[in-house]
Amino acid sequence: MSTTYYTTIPSPIGELLLTSDGRSLTGLEMSPFTPPIRGQRDKSPFEDIIGQLDEYFTGARKSFDVPLRASGTPFQLRVWAGLREIPYGRTISYGELARRIGNPRAMRAVGRANGSNPIAVIVPCHRVIGANGTLTGYGGGLDRKAKLLALEGISV
């Protein structure tokens, strides 16, 4: 059984919980959150990602280059991979994301998979908006979604 490492960091959108298996980032959650019960608090596996997040939040970084390992169903993994293809500073609708992953009628399933994304910000679920251009559900709250989009130069 592998060890789960975790740490928390401050950010402009509130405290963040980072989790790792020691090689890859496995989670990025926004407060409120519960640290792993069997995890080991250790900041060292996160030095690179913390630096990249700092750069992102100051506008100096537009993409992330860290190994990720998300656990999910094959459908969820396809949705999350589709999210990573949405460029910085752009948004798409749930329907467009469903079309891009090859399942144009799966808008609601895409929405559920989007909502269960375990690696927020880096897997940019905040870039998915309603078909009419409005902000829709976001696990971190619509205020955080609006802040992340504004940071990327998008006003909704």
Q: Which of 16, 68, 125, 128 is catalytic?
A: 125
Residue 5 annotated among the catalytic residues of the structure = no
For residues 155 and 91, the answer to whether their CB atoms sit within 8 Å is no
Cα–Cα distance measured from residue 117 to residue 141, given in angstroms and rounded to the nearest whole number = 14
Q: Measured between alpha carbons, how far is 111 from 108 in angstroms, rounded to an integer?
A: 5
Distances (CA, A) of 136 to 28, 29, 40, 110, 125: 20, 19, 35, 13, 11
- 96: three-class secondary structure by DSSP: helix
> Considering Cα of 31, then 34, then 35, then 39, what sign does the dihedral take?
negative
Cα–Cα dist 44/42, whole Å: 6
Cα dist from 156 to 12, 91, 129, whole Å:
19, 10, 9
Question: Would you please indicate which residues are annotated as catalytic (active-site) residues?
Answer: 125
